[in-house]
């Protein structure tokens, strides 16, 4: 049996604590704790007294309660992300928090002090801190504060999966879908939506039997470790030799991608929605033409920049699905802010099933 190519863990080198940007007086009562990346490839330093940033037009300040650690956070901290923000930097972009201040021009009919929100702050990051400043464009009021940690793991993965499966893939009830790297946050979201919202038949590919058990519990009709021979046989059995209607690739492992594409049906769809493995995928036209399948790329952040109304609506759709009890993010493990480097290593080693969360309460 073939084994999946595992993503390498990133080794962070310890360094002395450095000061971020401005000097802060000990008398500043509004200072807050944050995990600071002073240089790529180095460990984050938890600093105790960072100064508040002044709010600009259209911004709000949140008291952060939970922040997700995603694969892109690991890539940013290791210096291997597509776009590298300037350091020093407070990483983290997916969070749950409480509004504590409204900036100029923010309509209090849209946001109010004391409201709970989820946010995707990929413009300025800064989620791994007790406070975060972000644009109202990237924040959504949540209808309840039940299960706040689960809210934190909702927006990025579930909205991305929804764009791929519903908007671009036109997933229908009784379709058959193959999800690669289904044990990660994005893959698990795709399984959850496909199986529990659209009632599709899901074949989930993962790295271990433990992850397979979680995926079956999430609604996967079949969950198996990666093996080209086993996947092909399972797809043939489930689809009576026709192939799957949709392949949802959520990690970007080149070998897994090539073997999975062989399972797509005539006029099927292959959705590329993640590239955490940082491996270039190649599809030859000799493979595309005989089956006439569609190859679709999906990036939630690109929708923010190119189709803002869709970006806002798709995250709201994910919120509504969770509120209605149709889907539920799976939390793999929680860490404290002081354990942020352990959390990054845990995600980088690709051992988690679902979301990894930093709990700011501890």
pLDDT by residue for the chain (362 residues), tens only, comes to 333 333 333 343 444 343 444 333 344 567 899 999 999 999 999 999 899 999 999 999 999 999 999 988 999 999 988 778 899 999 999 999 999 999 999 998 899 999 999 999 998 999 999 999 999 999 999 987 788 999 999 999 999 999 999 999 999 998 999 998 778 889 999 999 999 999 999 999 887 888 888 899 999 999 888 777 888 888 888 888 999 999 998 865 666 777 788 889 999 999 998 655 445 556 667 667 777 889 899 999 999 999 999 999 999 999 999 999 999 999 999 999 999 999 999 998 877 788 999 999 87
> What are the residue ranges of CATH 3.40.50.720 in the chain?
157-299
The whole model's pTM is what?
A: 0.88
- CATH number of the domain located at residue range(s) 32-153+329-359 in this protein: 3.90.180.10
Beta bridge pairs of residue 94: 120
State yes or no: cis peptide before 161, omega within 30 of 0: no
CATH 3.40.50.720 given to domain 157-299: yes
Query: Of the candidates 258, 217, 263, 260, which has an alpha carbon nearest to the alpha carbon of residue 238?
Result: 263
Query: Of the candidates 189, 338, 333, which has an alpha carbon nearest to the alpha carbon of residue 273?
Result: 189
Cα separation, 297 vs 186, whole angstroms:
14
Q: Which two tokens stand for residue 198?
A: 């659209």
Residue 157: in which H helix or E strand, if any? helix 155-162
Q: Roughly how many angstroms between the first and final C-alpha of the chain, as a whole number?
A: 43
> What are the residue ranges of CATH 3.90.180.10 in the chain?
32-153+329-359
How many CB atoms are closer than 10 A to CB 251? 28
As a dihedral over the C-alpha atoms of residue 274, residue 64, residue 101, residue 94, rounded to 10 degrees, the angle is: 0
Classified as helix, coil or strand, 209 is helix
């Amino acid at each position: 049996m073939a084994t999946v190519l595992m993503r390498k863990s990133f080794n962070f080198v310890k360094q002395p604590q450095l000061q971020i940007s401005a000097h802060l007086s000990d008398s500043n009562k509004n200072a807050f704790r944050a995990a600071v990346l002073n240089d790529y490839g180095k460990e984050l330093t938890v600093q105790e007294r960072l100064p508040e940033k002044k709010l600009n037009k259209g911004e709000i300040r949140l008291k952060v309660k939970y922040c997700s650690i995603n694969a892109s956070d690991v890539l940013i901290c290791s210096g291997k992300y597509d776009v590298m923000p300037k350091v020093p930097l407070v990483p983290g972009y997916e969070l749950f928090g409480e509004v504590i201040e409204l900036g100029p021009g923010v309509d209090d009919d849209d946001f109010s002090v004391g409201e709970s929100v989820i946010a995707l702050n990929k413009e300025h990051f800064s989620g791994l801190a007790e406070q975060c400043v972000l644009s109202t464009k990237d924040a959504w009021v949540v209808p309840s504060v039940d299960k706040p940690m689960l809210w934190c793991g909702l927006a990025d993965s579930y909205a991305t999966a929804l764009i791929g499966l519903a908007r671009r893939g036109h997933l229908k009830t009784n379709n058959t879908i193959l999800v690669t790297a289904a044990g990660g946050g994005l893959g698990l979201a795709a399984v959850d939506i496909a199986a529990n919202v659209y009632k599709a038949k899901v074949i989930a590919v993962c790295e271990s039997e433990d992850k397979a058990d979680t995926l079956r519990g999430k609604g996967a009709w079949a969950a198996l470790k990666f093996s080209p021979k086993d996947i092909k046989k399972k797809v043939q059995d489930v689809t009576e030799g026709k192939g799957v209607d949709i392949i949802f690739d959520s990690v970007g492992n080149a070998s897994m991608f090539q073997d999975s594409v062989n399972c797509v049906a005539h006029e099927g769809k292959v959705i590329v929605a993640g590239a955490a493995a940082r491996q270039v995928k190649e599809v030859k036209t000799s493979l595309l033409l005989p089956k006439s399948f569609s190859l679709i790329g999906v990036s939630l952040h690109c929708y923010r920049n190119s189709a803002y109304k869709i970006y806002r609506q798709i995250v709201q759709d994910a919120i509504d699905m969770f509120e209605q009890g149709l889907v539920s993010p799976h939390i793999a493990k929680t860490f404290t802010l002081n354990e942020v480097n352990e959390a990054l290593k845990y995600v980088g080693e690709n051992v988690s099933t679902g979301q990894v969360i930093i709990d700011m309460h501890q």
